[in-house]
Amino acid sequence: MERIYFDNAATTSLDPAVLEAMLPFMTEKFGNPSSIYSYGRESRLGIENARKSVAKTLNAHPGEIFFTSGGTESSNTAINAAVKDLGCKHIISSPIEHHATLHTVEYLHHHDGVALSFVNVLPSGHIDMDHLRELLQNSTERCLVTLMHANNEIGNLLDMQAVGNLCKEFDAIFHSDTVQTVGHYPFDLRNTPVHFITGAGHKFHGPKGVGILYINENVKITPFIQGGSQERNMRAGTENLYGIIGFAKALELATLHHDEHSAHINGLRMYMAEQLQKHIPEVTFNGDLHGRSLYTVLNVAFPKSEKTEMILFNMDINGICASGGSACTSGANAGSHVIRAINSNPNQIAVRFSFCKNNTKAEVDQVVAKLTELM
């Protein structure tokens, strides 16, 4: 059976051109980058060229880019550093963050006594900016504001410039989980008031197990992982050499083809929304579909019934890959914390469809036809 893969917010396939760039570093260029002989120097050069390439794409300084194992490690590093090194005694986050952020801030609150506030989320899924201002204004301690750029389940986009300016006004540290947007949107970090952002290669056709943490050059923190001098004494452990090469290549390709791919993907998303409304009664959408929204994600609210309660299982046995929310909780009975925060309707079932450059209109038609049968 041919599969249709509509879960690209969870992970994407590896681009063949990315694999091609990685292969030499998986075979003949295998030296440890910390070694001083030619094999090691060759590997070190590969990493530093990758760092320059990533920094150029994000309009950052190479010294601000640190390679990690992915978004979870990057967010953990930034949040812990804000508390331990930058004097933040009050964390402001939202109830719809990825668990890499939520679990970290809750841990610091329960174990280290850090104050924790959650900004209100509007019914559209956007952050209540007036409430954020109020929380910052009323805090007696220095704050860390940690809010994601695009929600991985409903796709809502944060106005990073507006949040960053607000943080600047109240001398707060700003960390943004940008895992869903690095590789999907142009960044200009020299002109964005943010202290930390994150990225993960597997969200834009790069390899799994590699990510970045951007640390603004004016911020000084201590390492989160101890044990070696890698990443300019910031991240111990032998570097994921071929992963780093792959990350940089995938980001380069994503940037090069951004306009063409984003228009194609958004076209599929809006076409699917239109077709679902046409063929399935009472379908609605979670998040701000027609406003500030990630072009890769469509979160559909189906009317609840005996059939739709089994919808993910039935799609799977019909070769359709989609998700009930974040991939990290897709097998949990509790459902999605994001959907619970914005849609309390017990008579709806949420399914996230997420698209990439390789998907087609014909696939959308097949999925809609199958869903119409399954309802």
The residue-averaged pLDDT of 6-31 equals 97
Element counts in the chain: helices (H) and strands (E): 12, 12
Structure tokens given for 198 = 């994150």
Task: Tell me which of 3.90.1150.10, 1.10.357.10, 1.10.3260.10, 3.90.1170.40 is the CATH number of domain 4-12+259-374.
Answer: 3.90.1150.10
Per-residue confidence (pLDDT) for residue 306, from 0 to 100: 85
Active site amino acids:
328
Q: Contact, 212 vs 67, CB < 8 A? A: yes
Per-residue confidence (pLDDT) for residue 335, from 0 to 100: 72
The residue-averaged pLDDT of 107-132 equals 97
pLDDT tens readout for residues 19-31: 999 999 999 999 9
Per-residue DSSP letters for 134-166?
Answer: HHHHH-SS-EEEE--SB-TTT-BBP-HHHHHHH
Each as own residue / partner, the long-range contacts of residues 213-218 (CB below 8 Å, 24 or more positions apart, any chain) are 213/65, 213/66, 213/68, 213/73, 213/74, 213/77, 213/78, 214/58, 214/60, 214/64, 214/65, 214/66, 214/189, 215/64, 215/66, 215/78, 216/64, 216/189, 217/61, 217/63, 217/64
Per-residue confidence (pLDDT) for residue 345, from 0 to 100: 85
pLDDT tens readout for residues 317-349: 999 999 986 555 555 445 789 999 998 788 899
The residue-averaged pLDDT of 281-298 equals 96
- Residue spans per domain, the chain: 4-12+259-374, 16-256
Structure tokens given for 16 = 């063949």
**Where does the pLDDT of residue 308 fall: very low under 50, low under 70, confident under 90, or very high at 90 and above?**
confident
The answer as to CATH 3.40.640.10 being correct for domain 16-256 is yes
Per-residue confidence (pLDDT) for residue 309, from 0 to 100: 86
pLDDT tens readout for residues 250-270: 999 999 999 999 999 999 999
Fold match flag (4-12+259-374 vs 16-256): no
Report the percent of the chain where pLDDT is more than 70: 97
pLDDT tens readout for residues 204-253: 999 999 999 999 999 999 999 999 999 999 999 999 999 999 999 999 99
Structure tokens given for 247 = 């990350």
Q: Model-level pTM?
A: 0.95
Structure tokens given for 5 = 């893969």
Average pLDDT, the chain: 95
Q: Which of 41-50, 191-200, 331-340 has the lowest mean pLDDT?
A: 331-340
Query: What does the alpha-carbon distance between residue 51 and residue 231 come to, in Å, rounded to a whole number?
Result: 10
